[in-house]
A and B are shown apart, each in its own frame.
Chain A
Amino acid sequence: MMLDVLTARNIKKTYSSGYRAVNGVSISIKKGECVGLIGESGSGKSTLARCLLMLEKLEEGEIFLYDKPLHLMKKREIRKVRHHMQAVFQNPSAAINPKLKIMDSLMEVLDTHPEITPVYIQDVREDRERCAARLMEMVGLPKRYLYCYPHELSGGQKQRVSIARAISIEPSIIILDEPTASLDVCTQQQILNLLKELQKQLNLSYLFISHDLSTVYFLSERIFVMKEGVFLDSFYKDELFSLQRHPYTKKLISLFES
């Protein structure tokens, strides 16, 4: 049996204020699969994402990257395997350092791990500039932006740079935390199409987090519904309209149909 890329069991996270944002959640993601996670604001989606990325200290629970237990690792060891999990965040302007040229932000992961050479940049790995240009091409940006500063790019372009950075190291999984939430409808659709294309092309695994049912439905094969720190419902995409859905899921569907 093939191992799941990412397995999390019984994740719990309480903030120092005493608020339990994530309360016993389990999830597993297969290679090449896109898992959607939908929930309203404050349902604990982003906290779960941060927990999975090992950015937060877990209160309880286990996280496995393939068979490696991340929750048992020391900080130094985690840093070495961290690049297997990449992320794209909601606000592309905050995710790119405004004082660095696009090139330097884009190449950050590859610069940090000179020993790793993804297949799709194998032939240009030695040449930093051509490497960056190849990545820009993959997300549909002209390479002249490489020497620009982030404020010279639009929101959608910056999000493409974020995506290029995430795919640059050929990660096992990309956690997409509302990557389209701050974009207009048109750009949203372009970014979603790009993500879908890249997934097919590179056989990527996604955890796609959103509060928008239609985008989750568009991209994901499996969907989890989250509310108040727990999963209320989980189902395959084609079961969305089945009668056994949780009342909360039905409520979400009716909201998006109207």
Chain B
Amino acid sequence: MKIAKYDYSMIRKWLPVLFLFAYVITVAIAPAFAPYDPLEINMSDRLSEPSEKHLLGTDHLGRDLFSRILAGGRVTVGTGFLVLTIILIVGVPLGMLSGFIGGRFDRYFMRIIDAFLAFPDFIIAIVLSGILGPGMVNLVLAIVVAKWGSYVRLVRSTVLAEKEKDYVLMAVISGLPAYKIIRKHLLPHVMGNVLVLATLDLGKIILMIASLSYIGLGAQPPTPEWGAMLNECKPYFYSSPHLMVIPGIFIMCTVLISNLAGDMLRDRLDIEK
């Protein structure tokens, strides 16, 4: 099948997602440009002010802050992306199945989801990573468990609304097997909603990772991670405030970018309807 003309409206519509994607890629490759090893300790040059030698100064162990920010971005944003990917891989198929099969399976499954959604996700994440112990793997697991329920819900409700439409009946009459109906007819309706929710959530997830690392449940020193860096530099806040302010600004900007992208995407997809 040939496409007659190139559809630029699609690009315009998905621009926020592309932008976010570009940002994530930038963050991912940034550590390659770090001037120093983010783990290299140099006690003779500790707590120095921003200078030509150290662009953003050094921390209490004499590590270059700029290099640590770049390396930490990969950990923080990368983990956020990983969490989101796992949630989508788990949540979307389960939601589709639950909505499509319906009946008793759907009823019981939704009660389980209700149980997850009954608690605020931050509480679940803190409790779970508290039980599982500190560390990045446990942190990822805890946030996935806290967040997946709302994705299952969203996908299921979209599928429930769409599967009653006549075009699904027509597909059944055409003799399409169930998995093809799901792929061809239901998935496109689900993906738009899910992507909006996912981009809006990315900020929250990054914030969650940073917060949990800040209270000592996520990344452990000496791993450079924005939240953990805030925690490490807390005792020096009065003497060298930039050690906390700079990672804070980076967290804030990342969350802001992801929220703006989510908002823009939601507006653009809504206009199409």
Contact = CB atoms under 8 A, between A and B. Distances in A.
Interface of A: 53, 55, 79-80, 82-83, 85-87, 89, 91, 94-97, 99-100, 103, 105, 108-109, 112-113, 128-129, 147, 162, 165
B169 A109 contact: no
Contacts of A85: 173
A83 B167 contact: no
B1 A108 contact: no
A83 B175 contact: yes
Contact of B175 (A55, A80, A94, A99): A80
A165 B169 contact: no
B173 A82 contact: yes
Contacts of B4: 147
Contact of A113 (B1, B170, B175): B175
Q: Tell me what chain B mostly uses at the interface: helix, strand, loop, or mixed.
A: helix
Of B167, B169, B173, B175, the most chain A CB neighbours within 10 A belong to B173
B173 A87 contact: yes
Contacts of A147: 3-4
Given A100-B185, A103-B1, A129-B2, 16 more contacts: A53-B173, A55-B173, A79-B177, A80-B175, A82-B172, A82-B174, A87-B173, A89-B170, A91-B166, A96-B170, A97-B185, A100-B184, A108-B170, A128-B1, A129-B1, A165-B170
| Interface size range of chain B in the complex | 20 to 34
A99 B188 contact: yes
B165 to A, nearest CB: 5
B172 A55 contact: yes
B21 to A, nearest CB: 22
Contacts of A113: 175
Nearest to A149: B272
Given A94-B166, A95-B166, A165-B170, A82 B175 contact: yes
17 contacts: A53-B173, A55-B172, A82-B172, A87-B169, A87-B173, A89-B169, A95-B166, A96-B167, A96-B170, A97-B167, A100-B185, A108-B176, A112-B180, A129-B2, A147-B3, A147-B4, A165-B170
Q: Tell me what chain A mostly uses at the interface: helix, strand, loop, or mixed.
A: helix
B189 interface: yes
A94 B165 contact: yes
A112 B174 contact: yes
Given A97-B185, A99-B189, A129-B1, A89 B166 contact: yes
A147 B173 CA distance: 23
A55 B171 CA distance: 11
Contact of A112 (B3, B166, B176, B189): B176
Interface string B154-180: 000000000001110111111111001
Contacts of A91: 166
A80 B177 CA distance: 10
A86 B170 CA distance: 8
Of B172, B174, B184, B185, the most chain A CB neighbours within 10 A belong to B174
A108 B171 contact: yes
Contacts of B180: 112
A239 to B, nearest CB: 33
Contacts of A94: 165-167
Contacts of A108: 170-171, 174, 176
Contacts of B189: 99
B262 to A, nearest CB: 21
A219 B56 CA distance: 83
Contact of A83 (B165, B166, B169, B174): B174
A105 B165 CA distance: 14
Contacts of B166: 89, 91, 94-95
A109 B180 CA distance: 12
A131 B177 CA distance: 23
A185 B203 CA distance: 54
Given A87-B170, A89-B166, A165-B170, A112 B188 contact: no
Contact of B174 (A89, A99, A109): A109
Contacts of A87: 169-170, 173
A73 B85 CA distance: 42
Nearest to A165: B170
Contacts of B174: 82-83, 108-109, 112
Closest CB pairs A-B (n = 8) = A95-B166, A94-B166, A99-B188, A109-B174, A97-B167, A82-B175, A89-B166, A79-B175
A112 B1 contact: no
Nearest to A90: B166
